[in-house]
Structure 1
Amino acid sequence: MTAGATTGAIPDAGPLARALSSLSVRNYRLYFWGYSISVAGTWMQTLALAFLVLRLTGSGADLGVTTAARYLPLVLLGPFGGLVADRYDKRRLLYLTQSASALVAVAFAVLSALGRADVATVVGLSLALGVLTVFDNPARQSLIGELVPRDRLANAVTLNSVSVNLARVLGAAVGGALVAAVGLTACFALNAVSFLAVLASLAMMRASELTPVARPPREKGQVRAGLRYAGRTPALLLPLVMLTVTGTLAYEFPITLPLVARGAFHGGAGTYGLMAAVMAVGAVTGGLVTAARGNRRRAGNLAFAAVGWGVAILAAALAPDLAWELVALLFVGYGSISFNSLSKTALQLAAEPAMRGRVMALWALAWGGTTVVGGPLVGWAAQEFGSRSSLVVGGVPTVLLGLAMLPALRRIDRAAETRPTPPVTGRVPTAPTPTAPPPTGSTPTGSAGSPPPDRGATPDRGAPSTAR
């Protein structure tokens, strides 16, 4: 047994100790801090890019198109990126994607410093980042399942979302101050430097303490097998449907917040940075509360989280002044991380290890790739009907979706209560379970069988390796 897997639960620990329990695992601790620093840099870049486009064109629709370009490759190649993550060593894959992302940040910094940036160049570099995210996100998310034992997986997934939002607080606040004080170039340059932290954390991990799963051999139809597997497993399909709708309409904050800051409150980068930082404070609080609740999650809670989050978004849309907007954004942040961590945990625990990369690629597609449609849509709504409408088009469907999905998610909970506990070994069960029949003719015997991540990639849409 590996050292990472020997770490047991802490039944008598207090709420804070339970919330931070995964950080006692050395490899995960390195992952947590390395990516937190890197994501802070990514948020600086996200902020700088938004105001670069607004400076160049002044168009909310153009901002939506530029942001959508970042996620277009996820739509076209997302499931394939998940298969690559399942087949190859995830740490080596991350070395490549993170190093290449640093080079893109250097290119942004050089173009900004020389005054040579234009919309076409920004779109091209955003597409390059999107291609890297196709492979980075599923590898980064599914790696969590190899860093911690199963009894801490839900906690580790939630803490990953917390780290993204801690980084958002720092990145948005520092980025807004830098843009106001010295300009956009500093944000791009600091983002390039921040990738050194995640590269160092990957290098310092102890391979002997990882718990890798068996990699599926090359076979035809493995991407289709992953799609069929998710489609036939209600515990995966329903959260993915909810993520698709909310990812398209509700989680477009890199677009909606700059537009609301400028349009509704007549502010600039500093106002946006303050709004993003306050929202992130709410998300960190929500993440710690969710993490302290332990490993058990009920699918029905995802519906309640959607309703609460949607109500908070509508409150932000209706806030009469900036002070009330900041209060509402605290609850928006709380709701966003509760919904995101509950959905990611549901996918991680329901997915078989050999399918983990492909399942999390679908998560990235639903949570981040939908910006290809949602980004231009909310940008157009803001341009035609006012900046607040970009929040309304996300809040209303989120509330309705939570109410509509509640009965089906409760049925999943009832079915789970009658099922035996799955094995912890990461091996594939030899017999299909009632809720997750193995795809026929697609995965080898012994390669498909138990648990695992982060809008963050969510991204963390929000955060990001992606902006989600």
Structure 2
Amino acid sequence: MTHDAPANAAPLRAYPAFVHFWIARIASGFGFQMLSVAVGWQIYALTGNAFDLGLVGLVQFVPSLLLALPAGHIADQFNRRRIVVTCQSLEWIAIAALALGSWQGWLNETGILTLLFVIGLARAVEFPTRQAMVPGLVPAPVLPRAMAMNASAMQVAMIAGPAAGGFLYVAGPDAVYATAALLYLISIVLLARLRYDHRPPRREPATLKTVFAGVGFIRARPAILGVISLDLFAVLLGGATALLPIFARDILHTGPWGLGLLRAAPAVGALLMSVWLARHALQRRVGMIMFASVAGFGVATLVFALSQMLWLSLLALAALGAFDMVSMVIRGALVQLDTPDAMRGRVSAVNSIFINTSNQLGEFESGMLAAWLGAVGSALIGGLGTLVVVGLWMWMFPVLRKRQTLETPDEENVADAAR
């Protein structure tokens, strides 16, 4: 439609609400990445036990699994901006307590894990709510570019945040926590001043039916079910990055510096692609572009598995990150645009369960296969499995294969697929 063209062509800076949201995302993302580095160092310095490092991940994962569906219901029943501000305020209090306890010297392992659990609870509610906010900040034709720009904030935080946290840790963990608290405070102020027009519908009581409504909604819509399940199985099979220490030491024969480069390569590729996608709209054959990107992810995994040269492995990982970013932006925009606003929180919550589960199980699957078949064999099976999944999903979900634009209503796609 012609009236979409001006909005689609407008730069993202023309939408000040989204710009404020994006800056807040960078600030809180930086703060959380810095926090993650400091917590790991501090826990290990206090206990010297590798098992305790696993507890750091566990106390953050459990809340996200238990609270995801209730969080989605909350996001659809209350003002989303206020929910995110409240959650980040709770996170800020916990981070400030980490800073104060480290400075005063009374913080122990139990205290750190307890405060991390509080942060995990708040983030479990914040994540689906924040995801559901994005479509309300820009017009629908601009959403894919906005999601790419939002993803770039995450990638910048993932690349630079840990490095900044490690550098500041020289001055002590309290310095890292205090800086993270300051960044969270900036994010809270920006979000509190954000102009976001969200009028929740008439509130429904929290019942099993309303809490699980997102699951039923997804099952009834082939496009959304196909997109979310494609992400689940592709990530489950493509978890080669969990094996990077093995590849760095035993196959590429490099040291910790090489491992650092390998870990950064996917994020660099994803960041470069997200910047490109933020400036160039995906307007045609988005379904095939998504499938081609997931297939490219699988091919890049195969190249990485077979490479014995550091430079080729870095290129393969950068390509892997770039392909994943393309498919992630398309999948995310398609889910948001095919979901009515009254359901976005619950659908985002179900999607977050799939994402968190696939990331955790993908690393487990890669590790188990590596124990049986070696790291190379595990990565090869993952890459080949991803290609098989792409072929199966193209056959099982023709509505996705024939999808032309992200704005096309689901019903039109069903009609096209039936012809």
| TM class by smaller structure | 0.7 to 0.9
Q: Distance in 2 between matches of 1:37 and 1:99?
A: 14
1:196 and 2:182 equivalent?
no
Cα offset, 1:258, TM superposition: 6.5
Task: Tell whether 2:204 aligns with 1:218.
Answer: yes
Equivalent residue in structure 2 for 1:327, among 315, 323, 326: 315
Q: Map Cα deviations across residues 160-185 of structure 1 (whole Å, 9 max, x no partner).
A: 11221122232143335445x55665
Identify the residue that residue 134 of structure 2 maps to in structure 1.
144
Change (3 A) 1:409 1:185: farther
Cα distance in 2 for residues equivalent to 1:131 and 1:260: 35
Identify the residue that residue 366 of structure 1 maps to in structure 2.
Answer: 354
Retained in 1: the 8 A contact 2:60–2:117?
A: yes
How far apart are 1:342 and its partner, in Å?
A: 1.6
Q: CA deviation at 1:205?
A: 1.8
Q: Output aligned runs, 1:350-389, within 5 Å.
A: 350-378=338-366
1:17-28, aligned counterparts within 5 Å? Answer: 21-28=11-18
Q: Which has the higher helix share?
A: 2
Pairing 1:157–2:147 present: yes
| Residues 419 and 134 of structure 1, relative CA distance in 2, 3 Å threshold | closer
Q: Is the 8 A contact 1:71 1:130 kept in 2?
A: yes
Aligned to 1:282: 269
If asked which structure has higher relative contact order (CA below 8 Å, sep 6+), I would say 1
Cα distance in 1 for residues equivalent to 2:385 and 2:171: 40
Show CA shifts across 1:6-41 (max 9, x none): x9744896xxxx7xx223200000111121122122
Which residue identity lines up with residue 342 of structure 2 in the other structure? A
Secondary structure of 1:153's counterpart equals helix
SS of 1:215 mapped into structure 2 = coil
Matches for 1:390-405 after TM superposition, within 5 Å: 394-405=382-393
Distance 1:325 1:381, change over 3 A: same
CA distance in 1 between counterparts of 2:101 and 2:387 reads: 42
Are 1:231 and 2:219 counterparts?
yes
Distance 2:347 2:372 in 1: 37
Structure 1 counterpart of 2:351, one-letter code: W
Q: Report the counterpart of residue 466 of structure 1 in structure 2.
A: none
Deviation for aligned residue 1:335 = 1.9
Structure 2 equivalent of residue 446 of structure 1: none
Amino acid paired to 2:321: G
For the residue of structure 1 that corresponds to 2:212, the secondary structure is helix
8 Å CA contact 1:300, 1:410 repeated in 2: no
Distance 1:12 1:293, change over 3 A: closer
SS at match of 2:275: helix
State the TM-score, normalized to the length of structure 2: 0.81
- TM-aligned CA distance change 1:236 to 1:8, over 3 Å: closer
Amino acid paired to 1:234: P
The partner residue of 1:340 within 328, 331, 336 is 328
Q: Distance in 2 between matches of 1:368 and 1:331?
A: 23
* 1:168 corresponding residue in structure 2: 158
Q: Which amino acid aligns with 2:92?
A: A
d(CA) in 2 for partners of 1:259, 1:387: 7
Tell me how far 1:367 sits from its aligned partner: 0.9
Q: Please, which moves more after superposition, 381-390 or 130-139?
A: 381-390
CA distance 1:97–1:383, change in 2 (3 Å): farther
Distance 1:182 1:394 in 2: 42
CA distance in 1, matches of 2:101, 2:52: 19
Aligned with residue 82 of structure 1, among 72, 75, 79: 72
Distance in 1, Cα, partners of 2:317 & 2:101: 33
- Flag the 1:145–1:411 CA change in 2: closer, same or farther, 3 A: closer
| Alpha-carbon separation, structure 2, partners of 1:80 and 1:307 | 34
User: How many angstroms apart in 1 are the aligned matches of 2:271 and 2:350?
Assistant: 25
1:325–1:194 Cα change, 3 Å? farther
CA 1:285 to 1:371, structure 2 compared with 1: closer, same or farther past 3 Å?
closer
How far does the alpha carbon of each residue in 1:24-83 deviate from its partner, in whole angstroms, 9 at most, with x for none? 200000111121122122222334445566775675x87566435422223222121111
| CA distances 1:418-442 after superposition (whole Å, capped 9, x unpaired) | 99955xxxxxxxxx95879xxxxxx
Give the CA RMSD over aligned residues: 3.8
Kindly provide the CA deviation profile for residues 164-212 of structure 1, in whole angstroms up to 9, marking residues without a partner as x: 1122232143335445x55665444432222122112112323xxx342
What is the total number of aligned residue pairs between the two structures? 406
Q: Measure the CA separation in 2 of the matches of 1:272 and 1:109.
A: 30
Tell me how far apart the structure 1 counterparts of residues 107 and 356 of structure 2 sit (CA, whole Å).
28
Point out the more displaced range, 136-145 or 320-329.
320-329
Q: Secondary structure in 2 aligned to 1:351? A: coil
Moved more, 231-240 or 130-139: 130-139
Among 308, 315, 325, the residue aligned to 2:303? 315
Mark the CA change 1:398 to 1:176 in structure 2 (over 3 Å): closer, same or farther.
farther
Structure 1 equivalent of residue 92 of structure 2: 102
- Which stretch of structure 1 is more off in the superposition, 127-136 or 394-403? 394-403
- Displacement of 1:323 after TM fit? 3.9
Q: Distance in 2 between the 1:186 and 1:132 partners?
A: 23
Structure 2 alignment gaps of length 5 or more: 415-419
AA aligned opposite 1:402: V
Q: Cα gap change, 1:80/1:51 in structure 2, threshold over 3 Å: closer, same or farther?
A: same
Structure 1 unaligned blocks of 5 or more: 1-6, 423-431, 437-468
The one-letter code matched in structure 2 to 1:129 is: I
Task: Rate the CA distance shift 1:164–1:234 in 2: closer, same or farther, 3 A.
Answer: same
Report % sequence identity. 25
In 2, the alpha carbon distance for the partners of 1:218 and 1:421 equals 30
Structure 2 distance, partners of 1:350, 1:335, is 23
Letter in 2 for 1:204: R
